[in-house]
A = this chain, B = another copy of it.
Amino acid sequence: MAGEDRFVRRLLAELPPSPAGVRVGPGDDAAVVEVPAGLCAITTDMLVEDVDFLPGWPPEAVGRRAMAVNLSDLAAMGARPQHFLLSIAFPAARGEDYPLSVARGALSRAAPLSAALVGGDLSDAPITMVSITLWGRPEKAPTLRSGARPGDLLFLSGHPGRAAAGLRLARSRAEGRCCAPGLAEEAARELLAAYEDPEPRVALGLLIAGIATAAIDVSDGVGIDAGRIAEASGARAVIERARLPISPALEDFAGREGLDPVALLLSGGDDYELLFSVPPERAREIPREGPGGAPVRQIGRIEAGRGAALREDSAERDIGELGHDHLRAAEAR
């Protein structure tokens, strides 16, 4: 039996029973699902070893994170996840248990949301890459990036910037370097977890659907992603520095590293929080604590104009270009 067939057989033995609507799951040339009439939201995101996660990560963590970043995209659209495909390219010398562990990690994020694995692909490769395609159903009109209007208030979930700090910590630990000397282990754990195991805001995304006029998941930094909402909406996003939710752990880390925690929040990336705009008359429908305990704060507003800016003491500076750019970062290496 070929390696891929053997893998599918082992995987099937671990999968929960297929939910109603899945006619053909893993093992045929394609999956077949039954869909009711309506809208379907589909997203895909891949993780590349040594780009999106560090070499040596346990495969469960890779799969779990790959699933989380895809769930985050559907969260921003206000869609309920349903099915996903999982593709894993990896050095075959790592053995057949490796992709099975990646799948287990992905399922650990997907199963609580009743998202079913229906297919995928395996390939040999010199490094690991995990690509997931996830689709789901918007329960109201999907929340796009383009609906923000001047006057809307801008909200942000969680504590962005922590993931960027966590990445720096993880890299330095992997290289045996010291980073943020004296940082309490509890704070370090909080920052590392934000990077390694981000919490996708699916329930919050469903809650704000139909209320928010625009939303984006903050994958590349609050600055660049605020700029994306502004650009798509033909408006200006203005964020007030004083309102930014800086976690004490991030503040502590940044102080010890001589970094500005606001810069990490604006340009760090990998946070997978939701940034969204809400008309002022509906702002009271947004809870201060979202489902699952995510804090939600109003950090600014949408104005007429273009671009994204940070306002401090009535001065404004552009932040719409601040953020993690996978491709530019690579060019500069």
In the complex, whether A247 has a CB less than 8 A from a CB of chain B is no
Interface residues in A23-64 by Cβ distance below 8 A to B read 23-24, 27-46, 48, 50-52
- Binding site secondary structure of chain A: mixed
Asked if A270 CB lies within 8 Å of chain B CBs, one says no
Shortest CB–CB separation between residue A18 and chain B, in angstroms?
14
- In the complex, whether A13 has a CB less than 8 A from a CB of chain B is no
Q: Give the number of times this chain occurs in the complex, counting copies.
A: 2
Chain B residues in 8 Å Cβ range of A213: none
Q: Which residue of B lies closest to A7 (CB)?
A: B327
Interface residues of A, count at CB 8 A: 81
Q: Which of B4, B29, B144 contacts A216 (CB 8 A)?
A: B29
What B residues does A231 contact at CB under 8 A?
Answer: 5
Give the distance to chain B from A204, nearest Cβ to Cβ, in Å.
14
A20 contacts the other chain (Cβ, under 8 Å)?
A: no
Provide the residues of chain B in CB contact with A215, threshold 8 Å. 29
In the bound assembly, the distance between CA atoms of A146 and B37 in angstroms comes to 28
Q: Is the CB of B32 within 8 A of A39?
A: yes
Of B120, B127, B328, the contact of A44 (CB 8 Å cutoff): B120
Assembled-state Cα–Cα distance A85/B7 (Å): 25
**CB pair A40 B46 closer than 8 Å:** no
Beta-carbon contact of B42 and A124 below 8 Å:
no
Please give me the residue from chain B that is nearest to A6 by CB atom: B327
A315 interface residue per 8 A CB criterion: no
Are A51 and B125 interface neighbours, CB within 8 A?
yes
For A119, the chain B residues whose CB sits under 8 A away are 42-44
Query: Which residues on B sit within 8 Å (CB–CB) of A145?
Result: 27-29
A102 to B: closest C-beta gap in Å: 14
A175 interface hit (Cβ, 8 Å) = no
B34 and A42 form a contact (CB under 8 A): no
Give per-residue flags for A125-140: 1 if the beta carbon is below 8 A from chain B beta carbons, else 0.
1110101010000100
A178 at the interface (CB under 8 A from B): no
A320 to chain B, nearest CB (A): 9
Among the stretches A71-79, A251-259, A283-291, A294-302, the one at the interface with B is A71-79
Inter-chain contact A124/B51, CB cutoff 8 Å: yes
A240 within 8 A of B: no
Check A29 against B76 for contact (C-beta < 8 Å): yes
Q: Any chain B CB within 8 A of the CB of A177?
A: no
Chain B binder among A90-98, A107-115, A155-163, A182-190: A90-98
Of the candidates A27, A89, A118, the one having the most CB atoms from chain B within 10 angstroms of its own CB is A89
A326 touching B38 in the complex, CB below 8 Å, given contacts A2-B224, A30-B74, A129-B89: no
- The answer, among B77, B85, B146, for a CB contact under 8 Å with A30, is B77
Q: What are 15 inter-chain pairs, A to B, with CB distance below 8 A?
A: A2-B323, A5-B231, A24-B41, A28-B232, A33-B39, A35-B38, A35-B39, A44-B87, A44-B121, A46-B87, A48-B124, A52-B123, A89-B129, A124-B329, A126-B126
Which 7 A-B pairs have CB atoms at the shortest separation, nearest pair first? A3-B327, A92-B330, A124-B330, A30-B43, A133-B133, A29-B76, A37-B37
